Chain A
C-alpha cells in the first residue's frame, strides 16, 4: 500500500529559527495536507495543497506540493514556543474516496 516517509522524525531548535520538514512517497497523490497535533488533541489542519508545484502560505507557514506529486515540504519561519507539537503530512487520492495516508510525524521542540 501507499506509504509516506516524513523527515526528520524530531527537531530541537532555538526560538526564532526557521524549520523545514518534508514528506516523500513512492505514490502520486492528488492533494497534500499538513496537520499539527498537540498532546491530547486531534490533528488540526494547517495547509492544503491541490496542484503540483503549488506554493501556499498560512502566516509563518509555507508549504509546497512537489512537481512530481510524490513529495511536499513545510517550512516554519521565525519559530515560537507555541509551534511545539507533532507535524503530520498526509496524502489524499481522489480514486480512493478521499482517504488520507499519513506520514509518521515530525516532533518539533522549540527552546525559548
Chain B
C-alpha cells in the first residue's frame, strides 16, 4: 500500500513570496491533516479535513495560510505571503476515519530567507 505522498521535499523562498505544498493521502483515507513542525518541537495541527470539508482549522493563520481538498482526495496548503517564522517542516497525514491512527508523509521542509 502506497503511503502519504508529499511534494516538494524542500523549498527555499524569500519572505513575502508565496508557496504551495501538495499532499496525496493513502488511498481511501477520508481524513487528511496538515501539521507544522518547527525545529525541535512536535508537530502542531494546522487544519483537518474530513473528505472535502474542514473539521478543524482553529490553529491555521488564516490571514496568510489557506488549504483546500476539493475532491476529497489530494490537498494543497498555501502560504501567501511567507514570513521568516514560517520556516518549518509541513507534514501531511491521513487516516481511515476520524479517531483512528494517522500516517504521515515525509514532509516538505520550507526555509524562508
Contacts and interface: CB of A to CB of B under 8 A. Distances in A.
Interface stretch (B42-50, B62-70, B75-83): B42-50
A42 interface: yes
Given A43-B91, A102-B44, A104-B42, A97 B102 contact: no
B41 A48 contact: no
A11 interface: no
Given A97-B50, A97-B99, A104 B105 contact: no
B42 A88 contact: yes
B103 to A, nearest CB: 6
A29 to B, nearest CB: 11
Interface residues of B, number: 30
B42 A103 contact: yes
A88 B93 CA distance: 15
Given A88-B42, A97-B55, A103-B42, A44 B101 contact: no
Interface residues of A, number: 26
Interface in A23-82: 30-31, 33, 35, 40-45, 48
Contacts of B101: 33, 45, 48
B35 to A, nearest CB: 8
Given A92-B99, A102-B43, A102-B44, A41 B31 contact: no
